[in-house]
Structure 1
Amino acid sequence: MMRFNANRKDFEPYGFTCVRWEASIIKRPDRHNEIELNFLETGQVTYLLFGQTVMVPAGRLAVFWAGIPHNTIHFEGLTEYFVSTIPLVWFLQWRLPEHFTHLIMHGHLIMEPDPSRAAADATLFRNWLEDVATPSEERRHITLLEIEARLRRLALNVPAPDTASPPSRHPTPAVLSESHLSRAEQMAAYIAQHYTEPLTLEHISRAAGLHPNYTVGVFRRVFGTTPLEYVIQHRLSHAQRLLATTDELILDVALNSGFGSLSRFNQAFRRAFGCTPREYRQRHRAT
């Protein structure tokens, strides 16, 4: 069984996996450049995902891009659940329906709306768990094909924009209201909604009704980082998406992600990923 390593490096990859994951409270947001699939056989788990509190119940396949900051803040009725990770570039190369990919890459958690699929999904995850653990490349390849097919089937149940009402920033019925959020979580939600704008510690503090002198300590106790570092994480995640899925100029990517200058963007990007934005685009652009 896998469990979260609080000392793991930001964006350290998991790769192609299917494991049983130990349910636990994860205070420090995790980020890794894979698409993550979750499936619970019992209970429920609550994420703070891109600044929103989202509850995933048993029996509902849940999918999101793990490049956005996310951590588990509550769970009940379970000790473990299935987690599978797929490298982002593989996901993009599958060329799933555009509206589905768009939602995933914009920070939405997509959840299976049909509860009758629970038994079939449980069987799939048990098979994937066994096959990914084997040295057989053929069985691993079959698992990838099945995951792609499962996501395509899920995409059929996600309405395209022309047949659905305009989505909210994070359209899911499991999002909890602000009254359920702690002060730190209120700050995280504010950052998620405003990270492309100029943000100061005063702006973030005001959103939670705190004095700036207390803001950093409150935020760090919950998330293990500072509010302004969290802003940079969101901006980098936004830039990753633009680099992988658009032809925007690097300068436009920097400015549209909230960075005030190209030099600041390049410096932050290289520090986080060990490469330039241009090199990242070359490695992760779908072909």
Structure 2
Amino acid sequence: MKGNSSFIIQETNVKGLDTLTVDCGQDLELPYIHLFNPGEVSSKATGSSKVAGSLNVERSNQLSGNHSSGQHHSGHQIDWVIRGQVTFLVDQKTVQLSAGEMLWSHMGERPRLIAGDSAASILRISMPLFYALELRLCKGFELELLLGTIFRLSVSDQSDIQKLQRQMADLMGDDPALREIAAEEFRLYLRRLSQYGETPPEISRARSTSGRACHHVYRMLSYINENYRDDLTIDKIANHLGLHRNFTMSLFKRVMGMSLLECITGLRIRYAEKLLINTNEDVTSIAFDSGFSSLTRFYEVFGKHFGESPQRYRNRMWMQSR
């Protein structure tokens, strides 16, 4: 087991395959990354041991055509072709991708892998909402994803692909400093990918919800992300948008698949987790700095997400990072 302030990495071997899986935790999750061989597409989804709130790596040789493990209704998904050629089904249309191309989706039906040559490898990245908001992606890009757009992007520079492969190797390495650097580089690279310029290369604009509703929800998300550490209430969110309280709650739930309270609490617990791992602040200070109204509430929520107390979680993460 290898770890740092953001990642816990576990490596096992599967003979004959150069594949990598990075999976996330149980309730509060970081991105999972799955690098796999499309020639091994199976109806059986890849299994992985999960560590709450952390990034977990193991090797595997199987992935279902529409890998359901770790998918989130309100999370981002990136399917990035590293080598070879593959075919996805998007809105009942086939889309062929070559090395360096990717599909980035958020809401609605996910692209489904249906074919790939034996030499192909794909990097699949899932970002739950709480993590994606930390990346500070291009606002126009985020909004289009929320509206249902699926982007087809291309990394034509071979050096970028090589950098990505190097980052994956560093994340699985023994050097804590290199693992931390690789993690930060990877986050920044995802942010750079969202800066698509004036003409976004979209391939689908399926609308499961009205554009007006999505615009309202995007404003809610932006406001929550800026204020969740304060005394944020549903009434304040509704007043900020000029909407009725009940309508605000039901609209967010319908579009995002989670309640406003779940979103606020998830961001707070994610922030608290980072402070526990990366600082020496005492638990009480962390609880209030993260936006919780009481220490009792913080312990209750943290225990629900991680299955242990904040101090025990901190000690375990510190031990794993040595």
What is the TM-score when the length of structure 1 is the normalising length?
Answer: 0.53
On the 8 A contact 2:228/2:268 being kept in 1, the answer is: yes
Match of residue 73 from structure 2: 28
- Matches of residues 1-287 of structure 1 in structure 2 within 5 Å? 10-11=27-28, 13=50, 15-17=56-58, 22=66, 28-29=73-74, 40-41=80-81, 59=100, 72-73=106-107, 79-80=112-113, 81-83=122-124, 107-108=134-135, 115-117=156-158, 120-121=161-162, 124=165, 144-145=172-173, 152=181, 172=192, 174=194, 181-285=214-318, 286-287=321-322
How far apart, in 2, do the equivalents of 1:142 and 1:233 lie?
29
On the 8 A contact 1:17/1:84 being kept in 2, the answer is: no
What is the SS of the residue equivalent to 2:123?
strand
The number of equivalent residue pairs is 208
How far apart, in 2, do the equivalents of 1:143 and 1:242 lie?
21
Does the C-alpha gap of structure 1 residues 263 and 156 become closer, same or farther in structure 2, counting only changes over 3 Å? closer
How far apart, in 2, do the equivalents of 1:154 and 1:181 lie?
31
The letter of the residue matching 1:145 is: G
The letter of the residue matching 1:174 is: S
Structure 1 residue 145 displacement after superposition: 3.2
How far apart, in 1, do the equivalents of 2:312 and 2:107 lie?
35
Q: After superposition, what is the alpha-carbon deviation per residue over 1:249-275, rounded to whole angstroms, capped at 9, x for unaligned?
A: 111101110112211111111122111
The letter of the residue matching 2:134 is: G
How far apart, in 1, do the equivalents of 2:265 and 2:187 lie?
31
On the 8 A contact 1:235/1:259 being kept in 2, the answer is: yes
The letter of the residue matching 1:117 is: Q
Q: After superposition, what is the alpha-carbon deviation per residue over 1:125-144, rounded to whole angstroms, capped at 9, x for unaligned?
A: 9xx8xxxxxxxxxxxx9992
What is the SS of the residue equivalent to 1:183?
helix
Q: After superposition, what is the alpha-carbon deviation per residue over 1:106-140, rounded to whole angstroms, capped at 9, x for unaligned?
A: 922799x9851368449959xx8xxxxxxxxxxxx
Does the C-alpha gap of structure 1 residues 11 and 27 become closer, same or farther in structure 2, counting only changes over 3 Å? closer
Q: After superposition, what is the alpha-carbon deviation per residue over 1:80-126, rounded to whole angstroms, capped at 9, x for unaligned?
A: 452269xxxxxxxxxxxxxxxxxx99922799x9851368449959x
The letter of the residue matching 1:28 is: H
How far apart, in 2, do the equivalents of 1:120 and 1:247 lie?
37
On the 8 A contact 1:242/1:253 being kept in 2, the answer is: yes
How far apart, in 1, do the equivalents of 2:67 and 2:229 lie?
33
How far apart, in 2, do the equivalents of 1:180 and 1:214 lie?
11
What is the TM-score when the length of structure 2 is the normalising length?
Answer: 0.48
How far apart, in 2, do the equivalents of 1:237 and 1:10 lie?
11
Structure 1 residue 150 displacement after superposition: 9.0
The letter of the residue matching 2:264 is: V
Larger Rg: 2
How far apart, in 2, do the equivalents of 1:264 and 1:242 lie?
17
Q: After superposition, what is the alpha-carbon deviation per residue over 1:34-82, rounded to whole angstroms, capped at 9, x for unaligned?
A: xx99562389xxxxxxxxxxxxxx8389xxxxxxxxx822689x64452
Structure 2: runs of 5+ lacking an equivalent: 1-24, 30-49, 88-98, 114-121, 139-153, 197-210
Q: Which has the higher helix share?
A: 1
State the identity %.
22
On the 8 A contact 1:250/1:277 being kept in 2, the answer is: yes
How far apart, in 2, do the equivalents of 1:119 and 1:74 lie?
29
